[in-house]
Structure formats: structure tokens, C-alpha cells
Amino acid sequence: MALKKSISGFRGTIGGKAGANLTPVDIVSNVAGYGAWLLETGAKPLVVIGRDGRPSGPIVKTLTAATLQSLGIDVIDLDFATTPTVEVAVKQHDAGGGIILSASHNPKEYNALKLLNGEGEFISAAAGARLMEIAELGDIEYAAVDDLGKLLPDGTALQHHISLVLAHPLVEVEAIRKQNFRIVLDAVNSVGAIAIPALCRELNVVCEVINGELNGEFAHNPEPLPENMTQLIERMETSEANLGVAVDPDVDRLALIGPGGRWIGEEYTLAVVADYVLSRTPGPVVSNLSSSRVVADVAKSYGHDYHAAAVGEVNVVEKMKAVGAVIGGEGNGGIIDPALHYGRDSLIGLALVLSHLATSGKTINELRDGYPHYEMIKDKKAVADSYDLNAAFVRVKAKFSSVPTNEVDGLKLDFPDGWVHLRASNTEPIVRVYAEAPSVARAKELAGGVMAEL
């Protein structure tokens, strides 16, 4: 994979030649650009870093920390940490920024640098453009020997994060504790194996962990999709647990499985959480253009506004702030609760799901039955770097000229009984094709008709 640079940060495969993959040279140059940009803005010269369980993590962490220190920036090292834990820790330490060392759902050969500002949120597109300009120019002044930054290990970040979750006004701690819930967690051999059981212990929830060895040797494709969750689904078919939970390697995505092995899925995670939040806190809801219609349906059932944002956490957060949303996120299982922080967070997501179960007296399967039924398919088409996606969009619009479209982010076609969304990936050389309809067959039919024009 070619090294990808975007507002999501820098992502690529380990090894190969500099400039084409995520090599030591690329890590150092891009971290130096980030650090120089941070100092240019006058931010506090203090950066929090944390990593997921990937085998390349120690090397990437060492290079990242040393580069920042060489610029005179102090580094708080959380070592193993979830993405939302790093985000929360930036605010905890009043740091100037943060770097998350994780390639999220990508396979183990990938790693990435995900860049945060002083609010613990992903940096803006303008900030990303400026730091890439600095990195490419290479005209960066490093600190003299007496001004080098310090490396400051911190083992308190996860407990601080959990304490904030427990103090959240909508997390019904005592109600959850009284239920003696049992869950099965697929931790996919990464930091979820530390974070989710620690939260469960505080909530008196028994947590059975599968794939809990924290070695980054992912037992299966780490993206929490049903085809990758066969082990967890099979375990839930025979388990007496109340809930099955799947997270991705950096624990910002949450997928749910019900008793009997029923796939609730990542698309319905936000619907379950939004239902609970709106029952207690009125206000708008935001998700992205590729998220299920069920979120809009839930908002409508409470008489509240729904808003769609471009795909990408930074875009959803921007829209949430603009409309004053009380809950939001992405259909990939990313829950963003502004009462905690503006970042996708599986810990608060799980706590709110358990609160919903504890206070409603319903099972997760019963909650799922109460929402409109949609089926979504998520496909992709590999493309060359030279592929003209705009020309492809012109062909699609010509073919479906009577169908309303939205071009805020790629191209979305809103059919009467479903939709298809096409967009270029920010992290891989592919075109993502999402479609939703009342049945899988219809979703495939809609997507197939559109993909034929690609």
C-alpha cells in the first residue's frame, strides 16, 4: 500500500521503501511536521501518545517519542491505550496535542499516526495541510541538547477514562450493578482486552474474553463485521450471556451480538444508544451519510432533528457542534457522546447500552425488534491511483438521472426504498460502496446497478 496522508493522519504498511510505505523515515518526517506545526501554533509543548497491540507498535512508539523529544516537546507515554483513552488523556494533562499509534481496523501489517489537537480531537483539514507542508519542506529546527523533551510514562489514563464514564449523568451505574450482567467480548488481540474488562469490573459485569492475548496477531480480520465475527457469534449461540461485544483494535468501534448469536451489528449500535439518550435528553442527532436510516428514524420518533455529515469523525464532530447534537457518531459502531468528549468511544458506548438494558428491562434482541428493519451491505472496489472517480460519478448520475443525489461526500443516491453511497476511502486505494434497503437482496440489487457504472 502507498503511504496515505489525510486529515486522519498518516497510514501505511510497515517495511518497504521510504515514501511508499510507513517506514522509519516517513514516521520521523511526518511526526516532525506535526511537532513543528504544534510549536508554530503556540500550543503547549506536551504531547500524549498511546498505541494499540500491533507488533510494530514498540518501534513506531519509540520513533514517534524520540522525534517529538528532539523538537523540545515533552511526551506522556500511555503505552497500550485505546484511541478514546488517548483523546481523554490529552485533556487530562492539558497537553498541546496527542498521537494515536493505530491503524484501526486494518490488518497487522499496517500502522498509522492519528493526530489530535489540544482538545483531544482530530486535527482539522487546514491544520493537516499545514503540517504536511512543513514536513515536505523539511525546514525544521530541532532543539539543542539542553532543551530536549522528556519522556513521561503514565499508567493512570485508563482508570481516569473509566472514572469519567462512571460519572456520566446517563450511565446508571447502580442499576447495571444490580443486574449481574454477563457479556462475551471479542478483543481481537489488542487493547480492548485491557479496557473493556476493566470497565466491566467497575460495573459488576462478568466479562468473558475471547482473543484476549494482547499480541497484535489478530485472530481474524479485525474489522467488526459479521463475516469476521463467526467465533463470537458461535459462542453467543450457546452462552447464557446477555450481550456479545466486538471492538476493533483501537476500541473506537462497537458491534453488538444478542443471545442466541443474533447479529445486532455495528449499524444498530448508534440507534440503541440514541434511543436511550433521547429518552432522557432532548436534542438533535448526527451520523454520517453512510450510516443507517434507522438513526434518523429513532430521532424522528422522539420529535428531534437528524443531521447527516460527511464520512469521517472530524466531519461528524464538526456537524455535532454546529447543531448542538446530544448524541452522534458513525454507523460503523462509533459512538460520540459530547457530554464525555468529542470522539468515538466504545467504553461510553457500552456503558450506555448496558444502562438501556438495565433501565428498560428489555433484552438487546427485544430492543432491536423495536426499530425499523434495514439491511446494509458494505462493498468496495479496488482502483488504481490514476482512476478518475469524478468521471465515474458523471456516468452514475447519467444512468440514474431521476434519483435524488447528495454530493457532500462522494455521491449518494436516495432511492425510494433505499440508498447507495459511493466515496473514495481516506485510508486505502479503494472506492467504498455502501447500500441499504429493507432486504439484503434489494440492497445488493441497488448496489450492483450503481457499481456497473464504475
Sheet holding 254-258, edge to edge: 206-210, 182-186, 243-247, 254-258, 262-263
Q: How do 327-330 and 334-336 pair as beta strands?
A: antiparallel
Cell numbers found for residue 260: 442466541
Among 116, 191, 119, smallest CA distance to 158 is for 191
Give residue for cell 499516526.
113
Length of the chain: 454
Given the residues 104, 292, 346, 355, select the one marked as catalytic: 104
3-state SS assignment for residue 24: helix
Query: Where does 340-406 show beta strands of DSSP type E?
Result: 375-382, 405-406
Specify burial of residue 174 (Cβ count, 10 A radius: 0-12, 13-18, 19+).
Answer: exposed
CA 433 to chain centre: 19
Q: Does 104 participate in catalysis according to the annotation?
A: yes
- DSSP one-letter string for 182-249: EEEEE-TTSTHHHHHHHHHHHTT-EEEEES---SS--SS-SS--GGG-HHHHHHHHH---SEEEEE-T
Annotated active-site positions, please? 104
